[in-house]
Amino acid sequence: MEYRIEKDSMGEMKVPADKYWGAQTQRSFQNFKIGNEKMPLEIIRAFGILKKAAAKANNSLGKLCDEKCELIMSVCDEVINGSLNSHFPLVVWQTGSGTQSNMNSNEVIANRGNELVGKKLLHPNDDINMSQSSNDTFPTAMHIAAVMSIEDELLPVLDEFILTLSRLEKENSDVVKSGRTHLQDATPIKFSQEISAWRVMIEKSKYMIECSLSGLRELALGGTAVGTGLNAPEGFGEEVAKAVSEITGKSFTSQENKFHALTSKDALVFAHGALKALAADMMKIANDVRFLASGPRCGLGEIFIPENEPGSSIMPGKVNPTQCEAVTMVCVQVMANDTAVGFAASQGNFQLNVFMPVCAYNFLQSVKLLADSIKSFNINCAVGITANREKMHENLHNSLMLVTALNPYIGYDNAAKTAKKAFKENISLKQACVELGFLTEAEFDKVFHPEEMV
- Give the span between the Cα atoms of 307 and 119, in whole angstroms: 61
Same fold, 3-130 and 150-216+256-388: no
pLDDT tens for 184-210 read 999 999 999 999 999 999 999 999 999
Report, as ranges of residue numbers, the positions in the chain whose pLDDT lies below 50. none
Beta bridge partners of 15: 4
150-216+256-388 is classed in which CATH architecture? Up-down Bundle (1.20)
Domain assignments of the chain as residue spans, ordered by start? 3-130, 150-216+256-388, 399-452
Residue 13 has phi, psi (to 5 degrees) of -140, 140
Q: Which of 86, 214, 251, 312 is labelled catalytic?
A: 312
Helix (H) or strand (E) holding 179: strand 176-181
CA-nearest of 280, 369, 366, 296 to 326 is: 369
pLDDT at 159: 98
CA angle, residues 127, 133, 138, in degrees to nearest 5:
110
Buried b (16+ CB within 10 A) or exposed e, 305-331: bbeeeeeeeeeeeebebbbbebbbebb
Q: Which CATH class is domain 3-130?
A: mainly alpha
pLDDT tens for 284-314 read 999 999 999 999 999 999 999 999 999 999 9
Q: Which of 182, 251, 294, 313 is labelled catalytic?
A: 182
Q: Clarify whether 143 is annotated catalytic.
A: no
pLDDT at 2: 96
- Per-position DSSP letters for 63-112, written without gaps between them: SS-HHHHHHHHHHHHHHHTTTTGGG---BSSS-TT-HHHHHHHHHHHHHH
Q: Clarify whether 182 is annotated catalytic.
A: yes
Domain 399-452 falls under CATH 3.20.20.450: no
pLDDT at 291: 98
In Å, how far from its chain's centre is CA 404?
42
